[in-house]
């Protein structure tokens, strides 16, 4: 893909210093050690994460027989579930057939029914035992004994190779310890065909220019010899993937994934075009043609008029007009649009607010990183303007901690849709339980778990499912074979991969922000409340029921 058409997406490390400081102060609660009760051995307690687990979790032969009987429904899939979608991506007839498994489980245990490799709703099928030659370096940067995976985001590893675990963990920060323990966990629980996964800190480019992004990508594929990169910067991801490697990156526009096959994917972030489509459906069904009632007194009682603002820099991305086209197609509605040209575009924020207010916009839909939406809301406060703020969950604004940074006089009117996990208390999360199966007395870093767990499981699914002949193409086939999975647990993300569908999430929930609600992850005030029992809606399934907004809903998922 030519450099002139790449969109550089700012991640959690792209904030202005003042925003960075605010986030760091609030996020401190996520990284402070807490007294967590270590769970029993997960090999004997997988029912806690898998309510449909078979009676005997320690009989791998019986479990593998159940897997073969499941007939390719996808790990953890339910044959009674239905999928409503407008995207042909979910039609997976062209995907390679499931791998035939030997009669003995790879690592002597499986979880759930159909059996999964680890006790996670995102895990791939439990694979059979394997012995033999893995083929050595089967693809660029696939080493005979290692698969190197790099990450960049808040609380990723420090730059370079993750240091080995030390007996003196008290002198090591919780972030590093968490990565070390998770590395050990995946190497112990997944079949990597005589290879081990090794984690690296990928680092950031020195500036958001094409040359700096190319330099950073070169460091990652040429010096670190990474095979997989989890990165929040689109330019770096594109440069990396175009070297014949794999990127598990942020949510990008559809064309970015299509132009970078077979290596470009995202994990917990929905692609931007799909989120815009969900946003148009939500706006049309829930808000269009009615008077505003969730804003301040300056807009309530007025016939709703939609505005939309997103990040659209000179390198591309989805144009703001795309959302207007989606709304027009969905319900014949019109949208006044604006765009920001960087992750800290104060001038554009001030101009957009002035125009939206003057034109009578009551309801602002947005897909923006933290600094831009902060500027936008502060400009609205200065203008005595309190519109309805409809978040379309991108750039982590649907994260409780990030939203806490925003001005309360504006977040009192904040609601919308998210594809993220419904928060749980730390001890109930999959990441926490995996950590304690390796280090019962330790305390995992909450931010690391929250940002990376799902992506990590999906990456391991792809590596294991690819078999010993690991290449970007076999990695892609392995993700496609997972199928699309919905309703695994009330808190879990619903979605999957397939041709034309390269970001995992494919369902959304409705949320509204309550500055007094207690975040189950941190115990601090300020959290989104999930309406309708945390229901997940696939494309075409949103109901238009706004009866619970700013009235009811829970900030935390129900306990299992």
**Which range is least confidently modeled, 128-142, 275-289, 331-345?**
331-345
pLDDT at 227: 98
Residue 252 pLDDT greater than 60, yes or no = yes
pLDDT at 38: 33
pLDDT at 43: 34
pLDDT at 396: 87
pLDDT at 20: 40
**Which range is least confidently modeled, 104-108, 187-191, 413-417?**
104-108
Q: Can you tell me the distance from the alpha carbon of 482 to that of 507, in angstroms, rounded to the nearest whole number?
A: 16
> What mean pLDDT value characterizes the chain?
83
pLDDT at 126: 93
Q: Could you read off the pLDDT of 53-80 as tens digits, one per residue?
A: 333 333 334 333 433 333 333 333 333 3
Question: What are phi and psi for residue 311, nearest 5 degrees?
Answer: -85, 125
pLDDT at 6: 35
Q: Could you read off the pLDDT of 2-27 as tens digits, one per residue?
A: 333 333 344 444 443 334 444 444 44
Q: Can you tell me the distance from the alpha carbon of 493 to that of 61, in angstroms, rounded to the nearest whole number?
A: 30
User: DSSP string covering 347-408, please?
Assistant: HHHHHHHHHHHHTT--EEEEE--HHHHHHHHHHHHHTT---EEEEES-TTTTSHHHHTTS-H
pLDDT at 343: 66
Sign, Cα dihedral of 315, 319, 86, 553? positive
Q: Could you read off the pLDDT of 431-465 as tens digits, one per residue?
A: 999 999 999 999 999 989 999 999 999 999 999 99
Share of the chain residues as helix, strand and coil, in percent rounded to the nearest 5: 35, 15, 50
pLDDT at 209: 82
Q: Is 236 helix (H, G, I), strand (E, B) or coil?
A: helix
pLDDT-above-90 percentage for the chain: 68
Cis peptide before 114 (omega within 30 of 0): yes
Both tokens assigned to 378 = 């502060």
Q: Could you read off the pLDDT of 496-507 as tens digits, one per residue?
A: 999 999 999 999
pLDDT-above-70 percentage for the chain: 79
pLDDT at 24: 43
pTM over 0.85: no
Task: State how far the alpha carbon of 453 is from the alpha carbons of 17, 226, 435, 446, 462, in Å.
Answer: 27, 19, 11, 10, 14
Of 205 and 515, more confident: 515
**Which range is least confidently modeled, 25-29, 153-157, 254-258, 501-505?**
25-29
- Longest CA span, the chain: 71
- Domains in the chain and their CATH numbers? 3-37+136-269+440-468 (3.40.50)
pLDDT band (50, 70, 90) for residue 110: confident
pLDDT at 79: 31
Other beta carbons less than 10 A from residue 352's beta carbon:
26
pLDDT at 192: 96
Of 490 and 48, more confident: 490
Average pLDDT over residues 148-161: 91
pLDDT band (50, 70, 90) for residue 155: confident
Residue 387 pLDDT greater than 90, yes or no = yes
Q: Could you read off the pLDDT of 325-361 as tens digits, one per residue?
A: 999 999 999 999 999 887 677 889 999 999 999 999 9
Q: Could you read off the pLDDT of 183-200 as tens digits, one per residue?
A: 999 999 999 999 999 999
pLDDT at 207: 74
pLDDT at 400: 92
pLDDT band (50, 70, 90) for residue 86: very low
Residue 1 pLDDT greater than 60, yes or no = no
pLDDT at 342: 73
Residue 517 pLDDT greater than 60, yes or no = yes
Nearest to 394 by CA among 404, 384, 402, 385: 402
- Of 34-48, 66-80, 198-212, 298-312, which one has max mean pLDDT? 298-312
**Which range is least confidently modeled, 6-10, 160-164, 321-325, 413-417?**
6-10
pLDDT at 12: 46
């Amino acid at each position: 893909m030519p450099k002139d058409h790449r969109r550089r997406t700012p991640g959690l490390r792209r904030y202005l210093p003042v925003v960075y400081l605010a986030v760091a102060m609030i996020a401190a609660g996520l990284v402070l050690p807490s007294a967590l009760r270590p769970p029993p051995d997960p090999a004997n307690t997988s029912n806690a994460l898998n309510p449909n687990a078979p009676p005997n979790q320690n009989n791998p032969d019986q479990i593998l027989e159940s897997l073969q009987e499941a007939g390719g429904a996808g790990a953890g899939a339910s044959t009674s579930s239905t999928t409503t979608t407008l995207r042909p991506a979910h039609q997976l007839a062209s995907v390679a057939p499931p791998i035939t498994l030997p009669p003995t489980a790879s690592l002597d245990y499986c979880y759930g029914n159909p059996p999964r490799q680890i006790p996670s709703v995102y895990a791939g099928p439990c694979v059979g035992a394997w012995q033999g030659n893995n083929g050595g370096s089967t693809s660029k940067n696939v080493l005979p004994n290692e698969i190197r995976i790099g990450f960049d985001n808040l609380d990723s590893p420090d730059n370079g190779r993750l240091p080995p675990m030390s007996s003196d963990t008290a002198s090591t920060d919780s972030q590093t310890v968490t990565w070390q323990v998770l590395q050990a966990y995946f190497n112990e629980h997944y079949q990597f065909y005589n290879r081990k996964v090794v984690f690296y800190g990928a680092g950031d480019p020195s500036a958001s220019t094409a040359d700096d992004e190319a330099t950073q990508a070169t460091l990652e594929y040429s010096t670190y010899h990474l095979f997989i990169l989890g990165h929040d910067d689109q330019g770096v991801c594109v440069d990396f993937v175009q070297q014949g490697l794999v990127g598990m990156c942020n949510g990008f526009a559809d064309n970015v994934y299509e132009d970078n096959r077979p290596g470009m994917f995202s994990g917990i972030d929905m692609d931007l075009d799909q989120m815009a489509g969900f946003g148009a459906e939500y706006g049309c069904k829930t808000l269009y043609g009615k008077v505003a009632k969730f804003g301040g007194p300056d807009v309530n009682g007025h016939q709703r008029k939609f505005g939309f603002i997103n990040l659209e820099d000179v390198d591309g991305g989805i144009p703001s007009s795309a959302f207007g086209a989606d709304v027009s197609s969905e319900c014949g509605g019109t949208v006044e649009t604006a765009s920001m040209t960087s992750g800290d575009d104060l001038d554009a924020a001030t101009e957009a607010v002035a125009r939206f207010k003057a034109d009578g916009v009551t309801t602002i839909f947005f897909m923006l990183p933290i600094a831009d939406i902060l500027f936008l809301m502060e400009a609205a406060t200065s203008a005595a303007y309190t519109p309805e703020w409809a978040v379309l969950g991108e750039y982590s604004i649907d994260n409780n901690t990030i939203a806490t940074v925003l001005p309360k006089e504006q977040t009192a009117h904040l609601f919308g849709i998210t594809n993220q996990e419904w928060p749980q208390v730390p001890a109930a999360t999959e990441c926490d339980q995996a950590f304690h199966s390796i280090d019962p007395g330790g305390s995992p870093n909450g931010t690391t778990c929250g940002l990376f767990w799902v992506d990590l499981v999906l990456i391991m699914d792809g590596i294991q499912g690819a078999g010993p002949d690991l290449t970007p193409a076999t990695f892609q086939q392995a993700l496609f074979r997972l199928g699309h999975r919905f309703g695994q647990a009330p808190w879990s993300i619903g979605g999957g991969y397939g041709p034309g569908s390269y970001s995992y999430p494919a369902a959304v929930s409705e949320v509204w922000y309550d500055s007094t609600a207690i975040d189950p992850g941190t115990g601090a005030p300020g959290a989104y409340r999930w309406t309708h029992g945390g229901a997940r809606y696939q494309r075409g399934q949103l109901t238009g029921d706004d009866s619970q907004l700013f009235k009811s809903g829970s900030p935390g998922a129900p306990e299992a």
